[in-house]
């Protein structure tokens, strides 16, 4: 289990890429966010020997601790003077205009398109409605994220997990991409995208940190820890995408508010991935569920590994699903503030991912032995609904 791009191996995507995040640095990141609640979900349960009502807290990591506002400031600036005179390396690196052959660049984007069309079919259909410049940029970002995920969750994952230099080299390669020195055609597409849109390097670096986390951490004590992981591997995707998607000129919401909504969509997607893949992850010795919350429902790793669906497990899953849905609700409030041409793919992804939670419920909460999925027919039926939602006027946001 890694990011929202953990679907199936992506063939013919060569990766040459190493590990600086440690358990001690992880703990330091979490300490600063142990007492602040973003959302509290009331969960009513009838599980045996349990209180009739349990509060499942969404403690999360305050976005100020994640320095999200810095990303928003840099990515929201369209002032060339700001970029020209800034001393911040992360901003200055974007000034570099890569010299890329036109035919080679066209081929690079075409390969990115093919990968997106193969492994994200429904989302890909939505991107076709975007302007050419925007859809090509989204394809390039998608492919970089997928390749990053494959480092620890792909066919060569066993080697990658034991080789401490792989992710370090991959991050150095990211620096080269932002400095106009792509290594291959996929890198070239992202390098060109960076020159066309105000993308900041921090969300990309943070995603690499999430991959590092997967090389040493297989348990999460509480939701604060899990939230940070979800931010690294999926919330960052939302932050990368907003500058490309664009914000509606009729939106009265602040850029920070819209970025928060995009981040929440990534969190909701990743929490849904985790709930969908509990059984598969358990076979790999991984439990992406908060240990404290398992204990709150009288459960432990032993129950996860047993594959037995009990009443206690069902009540625990109801609580987890309620929380995941709350993040989709927060994301929904921001989706209609994006540029008109970008809303349909976002709404499509939101509706499809949220419906995975419905499928878990239809499977009687048996995600220990069954993998919930949304069939092609249901996905296609969601396209008209997503399109209708995409036509709605930007509402007044009430995000926390």
Give tens-digit pLDDT for 142-181: 999 999 999 887 766 666 666 668 899 999 999 999 999 9
State the burial class of residue 334 (Cβ atoms within 10 Å of its Cβ: 0-12, 13-18, 19+).
Answer: buried
Average pLDDT over residues 10-32: 43
Percent of the chain with pLDDT over 90: 58
At the second CATH level, the architecture of 23-95+208-390 is Orthogonal Bundle (1.10)
**Are the beta carbons of 98 and 182 closer than 8 angstroms?**
yes
User: 106: which residues sit within 8 A by CB, 6+ positions away?
Assistant: none
pLDDT tens-digit readout, 99-154: 777 889 999 999 999 999 999 887 888 888 889 999 999 999 999 999 999 988 77
- Strands (DSSP E) along 320-385, which ranges? none
Burial 287-322 (b: 16+ CB within 10 A, else e): bbbbbebbebbbbeeebbeeeebbebbbbbbbbbbe
Average pLDDT over residues 293-317: 97
In this prediction the pTM is 0.83
The structure tokens 């009687």 sit at 364
186 CB neighbour count, 10 Å cutoff: 24
Dist CA 326 CA 154 (whole Å) = 30
Distance of CA 138 to the CA centre of its chain: 14
- The DSSP secondary-structure symbol of 235 reads I
Dist CA 179 CA 167 (whole Å) = 18
- The DSSP secondary-structure symbol of 307 reads T
């Amino acid at each position: 289990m890694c990011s929202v791009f953990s679907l199936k191996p992506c063939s013919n995507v060569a990766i040459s890429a190493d590990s600086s995040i440690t358990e001690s640095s992880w703990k330091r990141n979490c300490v600063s966010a142990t007492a602040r609640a973003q959302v509290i979900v009331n969960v009513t349960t009838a599980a045996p020997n349990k209180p009739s009502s349990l509060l499942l807290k969404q403690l999360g990591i305050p976005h100020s601790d994640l320095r999200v506002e810095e990303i928003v400031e840099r990515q929201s600036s369209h002032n060339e003077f700001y970029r020209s005179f800034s001393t911040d390396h992360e901003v200055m690196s974007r000034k570099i205009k890569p010299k890329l052959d036109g035919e080679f660049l066209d081929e690079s984007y075409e390969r990115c398109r093919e990968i997106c069309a193969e492994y994200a079919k429904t989302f890909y259909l939505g991107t076709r409605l975007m302007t050419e410049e925007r859809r090509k940029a989204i394809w390039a970002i998608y492919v970089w994220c997928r390749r990053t995920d494959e480092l620890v969750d792909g066919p060569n994952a066993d080697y990658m997990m034991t080789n401490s230099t792989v992710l370090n080299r991959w991050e150095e390669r990211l620096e080269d991409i932002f400095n106009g020195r792509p290594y291959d055609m996929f890198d070239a597409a992202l390098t060109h995208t960076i020159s066309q849109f105000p993308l900041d390097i921090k969300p990309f670096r943070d995603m690499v940190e999430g991959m590092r986390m997967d090389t040493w951490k297989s348990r999460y004590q509480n939701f604060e820890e899990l939230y940070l992981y979800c931010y690294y591997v999926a919330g960052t995707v939302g932050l990368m995408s907003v500058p490309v998607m664009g914000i509606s000129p009729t939106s009265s919401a602040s850029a920070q508010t819209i970025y928060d909504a995009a981040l929440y969509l990534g969190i909701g997607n990743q929490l849904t991935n985790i709930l969908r893949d509990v059984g598969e992850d358990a076979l790999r010795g991984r439990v992406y569920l908060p240990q404290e919350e398992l204990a709150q429902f009288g459960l432990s790793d032993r129950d996860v590994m047993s594959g037995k669906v009990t009443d206690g497990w069902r009540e625990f899953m109801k609580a987890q699903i309620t929380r995941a849905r709350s993040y989709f609700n927060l994301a929904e409030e921001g989706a209609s503030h994006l540029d008109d041409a970008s809303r349909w793919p976002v709404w499509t992804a939101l509706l499809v991912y949220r419906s995975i939670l419905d499928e878990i419920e239809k499977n009687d909460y048996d995600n220990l032995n069954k993998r919930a999925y949304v069939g092609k027919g249901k996905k296609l039926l969601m396209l008209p609904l997503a399109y209708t939602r995409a036509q709605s006027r930007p509402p007044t946001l009430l995000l926390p």
